[in-house]
Each structure stands twice: as structure tokens, then as C-alpha cells.
Structure 1
Amino acid sequence: MLQSLHIENAAVIQSADMDLEKGFMVLSGETGAGKSIIVDSIHLLSGSRLSRDMIRTGEDRMLVSAIFADCREEVVALLDSYGILCDGSVMLVRTLSRDGKSTVKINGRTVTQSLQRELCKLLINIHGQHDNQRLMQRAAQIEILDAYAENRETLAAYSKVYRELLDLRARLAELDGNTAEKLRMRDMLKYQIEEIAAARLKEGEEEALEAESKRLSAMERIHAQTHLAYRALHGSEKSATVLLERAASALSKLADVLPEAADEAKRLEEFRYEIEDIAETVQGYSDTDEDPTARLNKIEGRLNTIAKLRRKYGADVASILAFREKAQAELDTIENADGIREDLERDIDCLEKRAHELASEIRARRKMASDKIERAVCETLAFLDMPKVRFHIVMTEAEALRQDGGDVVEFLISANAGEAPQPLEKIASGGELSRIMLALKSVLSDKDGVDTVIFDEVDAGISGKTSRKVGIKLKEIAKQMQVVCVTHSAQIASLADKHFLISKKDEEGRTQTGITELDGEGRVAEIARILGGIDVTEAQRAVAREMIEEGKQYDENQCHATSGRGEDRI
């Protein structure tokens, strides 16, 4: 559940905090006090986009943070899959800067907005006027039906099969493309493969040829310098080897009187042999098995061949060879089309069979759920002063499999006795849509998969008497989950377990919106204000007290009723 909410620098809110509990919470306040800012801030926290204009004037950024406690196992598992520690509590923080940058942190770890949205789907639902309009969309209607039918796992399996099926169908369509184009492509691929193969390329060959070309081009200089080096080492009377030999001979003649001189003579001989080897190696630098000019011409021709292929097929020899492998794979696909087609068709048949099996399973559960939802919604609507409204879920089999299964689902209502059911958008008013949404939410309260639901002005377009019943229904939903309701209705507010006042005042020449938890006379005063407008009378205060007392009495009666049912079962 949502345990606490903190908002900084959002429009007229400089800093505001709200500590919540389980049960039924309400937020009230005069029009323009800032209730919508709080709802928008929660939307931002849930992953929605908001304009930078919402940032308080003079500030660089706004911040919204919340702590969710006693989170479900699905939340812990999701965060664990991303390597985020969670002990059952989640701290979610989002900032929005004037430069357009937005950051999200979950339990101190910076995360993507996609993970933020995925997480918040498991934590909180927000229902407002926009969501009532969304109720008219077929996609939203089938989501509601599937939530009640508990189709999540089956739908996930179906979705995986369906995506694979679409992929194989696309590959088959590509395989069966224009025949003339396939033949042209085959001939082109063959030419490309043969041209590259004829060159007999080797990786690293181009670099080696360029190095050899550079060496051969400098052969005259190489010959001159290596000749000088050879003569200095071994090829003249004053060369290093001759001088070393003389020195070694001189030291050897002292061996009888100076034994250690023999050791040094031996070392000089070893040096002489080493230098002779070096001299032979240096002399070989200028040796060639082929005329340098002829060899240079061959190298230039080979490099030109490689350059021509590089212009067509890749930046280097490795890229050219990779192009050939890819071209060969494409050619194999074209030439082996019949065998590949048979494999694809066989795989498609298997996937279609599996998809239809899953779709049938989903359909059966939807059918069972739709019957139960229809009855429960009609009962709830009757309680909410819509006794003649009949709610219907029409489900027909689609002509072909779809992303969400094999069904077309539509919610219909009959507003008056004897009238044929019609789509919601053709009949339902704003107030009726609010009550239908509330009825559906009531039916789904134990299957929603979240612990907190926020209703933004669910009382819009509803009279006082009906508002009381709406409040009772919200109270019932709050037995299953935490309910937070933004309301203008005294009847709804009087039933709350906790009541927050949203108000604004001027401080140091600036408007400030604050959140105050009401209790006792503060709550009486606010409900009286809602009832009476600007000037609150003592009579209105008395009515407010009576309404609050009735709300408490309702709670007590519900507790006794629950206790009684428990005793009956015992």
C-alpha cells in the first residue's frame, strides 16, 4: 500500500507530505486548491509524462517520492530480476528538470522509466475522468474481462506463441515473394560469390602486400645500407669479426701466465660467432628471388583487385569475406526454398494449433467471467441508483487470431427497460460512466493485482443520495485494498477512515498549497464547508457531525455483520 507521499516544487506546492494507512482515504478542498496537482504528481511517479510547466516558478526541478509498504511477492520478484534489493518496501523517487531531464530511482537505484511503469502497474491504479472515457475502448474492456478471468499467465503464453507465428508467417511471405525478383537475386548472388571466391582472399593479405610493396620500393636504399652494415660487421679487414678474432688470439697467448685471459678469449669468440650470424642476416635483407620491379607490378595488380572488391563488398578483406558468407546463406535460402517452405509451413501449423488451443482456453474463462461480471455489475448499479440499467458483455469469435486472443469483446448497456443494449459511448453519461467504472472496480477489487487505487472525482455528475452509496461502495472496495479518493462530496468524505484537506494560502507574496490531515472539529468544518459553501452555519456543522457519526456507525455495523457471519460459519 501507499504509506507516504512527498511532493516538492510542483506548481503551487513548495513542499507537501502525506502519511497514509490502510482503508479508505479522502482528499477534499476548494476548487483550485491543488488537488489535481497531487493527482498529477502521482501520475508522474507512475511513469506518465508531464509538462515542465508544472515545475514551480523559480525552481529548476520538481520531485515526487513515495514509500510503498507490505508489497506483494510479484513486486519483490520483479525488482529481484533487476538486481534491486526489496524487503517488502519500495521507495520510488522521480525528478523532472526544466531542461527536460527526468530521473527515476527505486530503492536508491537509478532505473529506466519502462521499469518504473512496469513496477507501478503492480503497485497502484489511478482512475479519473480520462479513465472513464477509456472504458469505452475495446482494448480496455477486454483487459477488464481478462483481469477478472485471471487470464494473465495464459495470455502471456498465447502472446509468445502469437508473436512467433507472425514471425514465421512473415518469413514464409518473404520466401514466396516475386519469382522474377528471386531469380534476379539468385543470379546476382552467384556472381558476387564467384567474384569474391576467384580472388582467393586471405585475411591480413592486404596489409602484408602493402608492407612488401613499401620494402621493395626502398630496395636501392636497403641494398646500400645493408652493404655498409655487412662490411662493418664481417666483410672487411677492419670489420668487427676480424678485430674480435685478433683480440681473442692475443688473449689466448696469455693463458699460461694469466689463466683468466683464456675465459675472456672464449667470450670474444662467442661474440664473433654471434656477429657473423647477424651479418649473414643483414646481407639477406637485400636478397630477392624475383626481380623487384616485376614483383612490385604483381603486388600492385593484387592490391588493385582487392581495392575493387572493397569498393563493392566491404571496407577490408574481413568484411569482403563476411559479405560472401552472408550472400551464400541468402543463395542457399533461395535455392533450397522448397525445403525451407515445407519446414516453415509445418512449424506454422504447429503454432496455429497451439495458438487456437490457448485462445479456446482464454475464451472459456472469459465466458465464465463475463456471466459473473454481468450479474455483479447489475447488482452494484442497482445499489448505485441505476436499477433499470442492464450491463452486458458481448463476446464473439474473431475471424482470425488477434494479439489478445481469438475474441471480440464489447461492453453494452441498456439504460431503460425494454431498450436494446448499445455500446457505452452511445448511451452512458459522465455520471453513469463513473458508476459503471466503480461497479467494475468493485467486482475486480480482489483480482486487481494492486494494493492501492486512486479515484479522482468519482462523484462527478452524481447526486447527493447516490454519492452516499458511491461512498459505501468505495468503503467496501477499501476492505480489499487501500482506496484514496479525491472528492467534492460530503457524503463520500464522511465515510473516510482518514481525511486530508488540500488548501492554499499566501505566504511572503507567493501562493502555497499544503496538505493537512483532519480530525475532530477540523473534519466537521470541512464537511460542513462542502455542504454549505462559503458561509458555514452551526446547523451545517451539526449535519456534518451527524454524517461522520453515521459513517462510524456504518463501520461498526459492518464489523458486527462480519463477526456474525464468522460465528455462523463456526
Structure 2
Amino acid sequence: MLNSLSIQNYALIDQLNVNFDNGFTIITGETGAGKSILLGGLGLILGKRADLSSLRDETKKCIIEAIFEIEKYHLKDFFEENDLDYEARTIIRREILPSGKSRAFINDSPVTLDVLSRLGDNLIDIHSQHQTLQLAENDFQLKVIDALADNRKLLLSFESKLTGYQKIQRELKKLLDFQQNAIKEHDYNTHLLEELEKATLKEGIIEELEEQYEQLNNVESIVEHLSKGYQLLNDEQVGVITLMAELKLVSSKLGTFGSQFESLNERIQSVFIEIDDISSELEVFQEKAEANPNLLEEVNTKLQTLYDLQKKHGSSTISELIEIREVLSEKVSATENVESDIKKKEKELATEEQELNKVAIEIRKRREKIIPTLQKQLSESLSQLGMGNATFKIEINPAKTFNTQGKDELIFLFAANKGSNYGDLKKVASGGELSRIMLTIKSILARYEQLPTMMFDEIDTGVSGEISNKMGDIMQSMSKTMQVFSITHLPQVASKGVHHFKVYKEDEGAVTHTKMKKLTKEERVSELAEMLGGKDVSDSALAHARQLLNG
């Protein structure tokens, strides 16, 4: 419920602080006194867009603050989801700065207007001419039926399953889109992959081939140098091996003259073995080294292929080519496997659709069962409001697609008089009839679910006499289980309230202010008398006012 409202520097309001109680609260005032200003300020608290022109003093900021008791509204999950501090007495503040910027706070935490608006929907339901048009909207009509059918848990289950179903739908679409695009690229990617796989890519392959190419391309020079080296080692007269053999003989003799010469001898012996081994290796290399034009061409072809692949794929290293090969392999594999993935996802979607249909059918059965009750309650309540011949024709048929409220198409038709054709509410019902229907629906909803604070903005426009009295009774009855406000021009309705506030204008010098005050019992008598007979209050008007208040 709304505990208090504070407004500063808004339109004709300089400063306004007002506290509210539970039950039925009446707000009255002359046309133009500022009731719409009050609603405008309250609308800002509920997330409506701010307008810089609404600042009374454009050099100061506008501050609107409201305190709500929210313990009964089961909003802890909302606060947790939006990372807000939950308080049973929640404070909402809205600021409009002279710069035109707007700020919103919930329990001193800054929030977006979207968050504020969604919270506001759970706190106050302001009935206006615009909201009356909701009567013709399918979503609102289903909400009424679902409240009576107690479908809340089923709808939560359905919504959860629908979220999963829609996720699978998106995944399937992604696979289908991928398949459509991938088919076009598949042949080309396969060709690229085959090229890279034939190249037998591995780290260091280019360096290895380049070395092999250099050797094959310079085989004559290599043979010449190998031969020269072998000759230097093995010449019979001055070859290194011949000389080393003599040195080896000398060192062997020296080794017999003491340990210090033995060490030298071992070193010379080791060098001789190493040189002899080098000679053998030179001989082997010389025997193997021969011109091989075919192999040279093969190596050259492999190198050129690798160079071309690097250029083609814009890579500077073999590592990059290997990475490209792996990516192409994944793409080709994914394309080849996507058909089975699609079938798997379609099967998964069909299973989820069956589950959704089961819940949707259960929701529909409960709706169909409760429709006669709703039609009866609507007709009975409207009969009390002077619409004794009003009837409704409500039908539910299966829809082709799912929506957040199930899988139903609702036909909600209305006839105001006997013999009249049924038609859409907004087409066949007058403004006064729509208001009475909306009040009736709200009163029925109040019996089945915890509604937020209800504020009726001149819902009794266009009615008078006994009908307005009955409308007041309905709002008074609703206020037994919830907080109800009624902005009214009718004394019959105003007399039903437990609390009565008056909005009025007051001139202070050259400035006009909108103010609001809670009326005492005697002040209520005077206010009702004015509403009955005008500014010149007669004794009979006062007597009538007291009679209305004493009910």
C-alpha cells in the first residue's frame, strides 16, 4: 500500500507531503484544482517519462518520493534479480534536474526507468480512460480468466517450458542458417583443406626442404670439397693420416718414459682415431654425393607448393598454415555433421513441444471450466450497475502458435441490450459502460488475487444517482482487502470513503499553488454539500451531505 507521497517543485505544487492509510480513500476537488497534477507526480514514481516543463522553478530540481508497504506483494525475487535491497517499507524517489536529466532510486539505489516501471506495475494500478481500453485486449482478458481459474502455477510452469522451447528454436535456426551458408562454402573449404593436407605440414618442414635443396643444387661443389678433404687426410707422402701415424709412433715411445708422457700419448692416440673417423665419413659422403635432378625437382616442387600456400592464406609461418588447416577441418566436419545435428535438435524440439502442449491443454481446460462462472459474475454485478441486460460471450479456441499465456485464442464479445448483436467491447460499449465493466472486473479480480493499490480516476464519469451509489459500494467492498483510491466528482461515491482528501488551489501573492489536505468529518460535510449544490451551500444540501455520510 501507499503510505506517503512527497512532491517538491512540480507543476503548481511547491511542497506537498501527505500520508495515506489502508481502506477506501476519496480525493475530490474542483475541475482544474490539480488532481491531474497529483496523478502526474505519482506517474513519475511509477516510471513515466519526465518533462522539464513540469518543473515549477526551473532553477531547482523536482523531487518526488513515495513510501510503500510491500510485504504482501511477494517481491523479494524482483529485488534480488535487480540487485536491490529489499525493505518491507520501500522508498521510491524520482528527481528531475534543471538540466533535463532524470534520476530514479529504489531504497537509495539508482535504477533505470524500466526497472522502476516494472516495480510500479506491482504497487499501484491507476485506472484511467486509457486503461479502460485494456478491456478489449486479449492479454488482459486472459489475465482475468486465469485469475479465476487459479492458473498461476500452471502459467509459471508453462512460461518456464516456453523459455526452454524458444531456446531450442533459436539453436535450430542457427544450425539451419549455418547449413544454408555452409553448403555454399563446403566445396571450396574442402578443396583448401585437401591442398593443405597433401602438403604434409609439420614444424620445420620448410627449413628441412631448403637445406635439402641447397645440397642437391650444389652437389658438384660438395663432391669437390669432400674429395679435396679426403685427399688432404690420405695422401701417401704428406697426408694428415700418414703424418699422424708417425706422430702416434713417436708418442707411443714417449709414453714409456713416465706418466706425464703417457697422458700426452693418450691425447695423440685420441686425435688419430678422430681424424681416421673423419676420413671414413668423408669417404662415405663422397660415395653418396651424386647428382639427382629428379629429387632436386621434387624438393623444389614441394618448396614452391609451401611458398604458394603461405601466400594464398596470408601466413608467414608453417604454424599459421597448420592452424588454418585445423579451422578448415572443423568447418568441413561441422558441415558434414550438421544434418545429424539438425535432426537431433528437431527431435528435441518436438519433445519440448509435446510437453508444452500438455500444459497448454490443461490451462485451456481450466479456463473453459471457469468461463460460465465469470460470465455469471459479470452479468450479476453489471445488473446492479444499471446494465441488467448486458451479457458476454466468451469462447476459447486453440491457437496455432504458443505465447506467454498458453496456446489459446480468446473471443470476448459483449452485448449491452437484449436482441443486440455481440461485438468487440471497444466497438459496442459506451465510455460509461466500459468504466462500469472495468470496475466490475477489477472487483472480481480482487476476490481471487492480491491486487496492488487501486486508484480509480473518475471511473464514475457519466453515471449518477443510484448507479453511482452502487459503484461506490463496489469500491468500498474492494477496500476491505486492499487499499483503494477514488478520484470523483460524485458525492454519492465520495461519501463511501473512510478517508477524504481535497485538492485545491490557493493564491499566495501573484503565485498559485496546488495543495491537498485531509478533511475532518465536518469539512467532509461541507465538501459533499458543495458537490451536491455548488458554492452556495444550502441547509438542505448540508442535511443531505450528513445523510450520505451516515449512510
Q: Into which bin does the TM-score normalised by the smaller protein fall? A: 0.7 to 0.9
Indicate if the aligned counterparts of 1:363 and 1:407 stay in contact, CA closer than 8 A.
yes
In structure 1, the residue matched to 2:139 is 139
For the aligned residues, what is the CA RMSD? 3.3
Deviations 1:489-511 (A, max 9, x none): 11100110000000011223121
1:207 is matched with none
Give the conservation status (yes or no) of the 8 Å contact 1:121–1:450. no
Which deviates more from structure 2 when the two are superposed, residues 23-32 or residues 168-177?
A: 168-177
Match of 1:408 in 2: 409
CA distance in 1, matches of 2:65, 2:200: 65
Residue matched to 2:93:
93
The aligned residue for residue 53 of structure 1 is 53
Gaps of 5+ in 2: 204-302
Q: Which stretch of the first structure deviates more once superposed, 358-367 or 110-119?
A: 110-119
Give SS of 2:394's match.
Answer: strand
Partner of 2:537: 536
Structure of greater Rg: 2
**Cα separation, 2, equivalents of 1:320 and 1:417:** 84
Q: What is the one-letter code of the residue matched to 1:437?
A: M
> How many angstroms does 1:452 deviate by?
1.0
CA distance in 2, matches of 1:494, 1:500: 12
Alpha-carbon distance between aligned partners in 2 of 1:122 and 1:512, rounded to the nearest angstrom = 31
Partner of 1:371: 372
Note if contact 1:76-1:86 (Cα within 8 Å) is conserved in structure 2: yes
User: Could you say what secondary structure the match of 2:463 adopts?
Assistant: coil
- Structure 1 distance, partners of 2:138, 2:324, is 48
| 1:486 alignment partner in structure 2 | 487
Matching residue of 2:267: none
Tell me the distance in 2 between the aligned counterparts of 1:44 and 1:321. 61
- How far has the Cα of 1:12 moved from its partner? 0.8
Q: 2:161 is aligned with what amino acid?
A: V
Residue aligned with 2:450, SS: coil
| Pairs within 5 Å for 1:100-115 | 100-115=100-115
TM-score (norm 2): 0.74
Shift in alpha-carbon separation, 1:99–1:151, aligned structure 2, 3 A = farther
Q: Structure 1 residue 329: deviation in Å? A: 5.1
* Cα distance per residue 1:475-533 (max 9 Å; x no partner): 01101110011111111001100000000112231211011100122111211121223
Tell me the CA shift for residue 538 of structure 1: 2.6
Deviations along 1:149-197, one digit per CA (max 9) or x if unpaired, are: 3333322332333343344345445545698754322234446767899
Matches within 5 A, 1:306-317: 309=314
Determine the structure 2 residue equivalent to 1:282: none
How far apart are the structure 1 equivalents of 2:459 and 2:449? 18
Q: For the residues of structure 2 that align with 1:478 and 1:109, how far apart are their CA atoms?
A: 32
What is the TM-score normalised by the length of structure 1? 0.71
Distance 1:510 1:401, change over 3 A: same
Change (3 A) 1:377 1:327: farther
Matched-pair contact (CA < 8 Å) for 2:73–2:450 = no
Q: Does 1:78 align with 2:116?
A: no
SS at match of 2:525: helix
In structure 2, the CA distance between the partners of 1:100 and 1:526, relative to structure 1 (3 Å rule), is same
- 1:469 aligns with 470
Q: C-alpha distance in 2, partners of 1:179/1:83?
A: 41
Aligned residues: 448
1:162 alignment partner in structure 2: 162
User: 2:108 is matched by which residue type in structure 1?
Assistant: G
What is the distance in 2 between the residues matched to 1:432 and 1:331? 67
Aligned partner of 2:117 in structure 1 is 117
Residue 322 to residue 46, structure 1, CA distance change in 2 (3 Å): farther
Q: Deviations over 1:192-219 (max 9, x none)?
A: 76789989799xxxxxxxxxxxxxxxxx
CA distance in 2, matches of 1:430, 1:102: 35
1:275 aligned partner: none
> In the aligned structure 2, how far is the partner of 1:374 from the partner of 1:448?
18
CA contact (8 A) 1:68 1:90 kept: yes
State the Cα distance separating 1:91 from its structure 2 match: 1.1
Quote the Cα distance in structure 1 between the aligned partners of 2:327 and 2:74.
44
Aligned to 1:357: 358
Instruction: State the distance in 1 between where 2:465 and 2:321 align.
Output: 79
CA distance in 1, matches of 2:467, 2:320: 74
Residue 53 of structure 1 deviates from its aligned partner by: 2.2
Instruction: Give distance in 1, aligned partners of 2:330 and 2:532.
Output: 78
- Does the CA-based 8 Å contact 1:13-1:513 persist in structure 2? yes
The C-alpha deviation readout for 1:408-455, integer Å capped at 9, x for no partner, is 113221211133322102211110000000000010013343341111
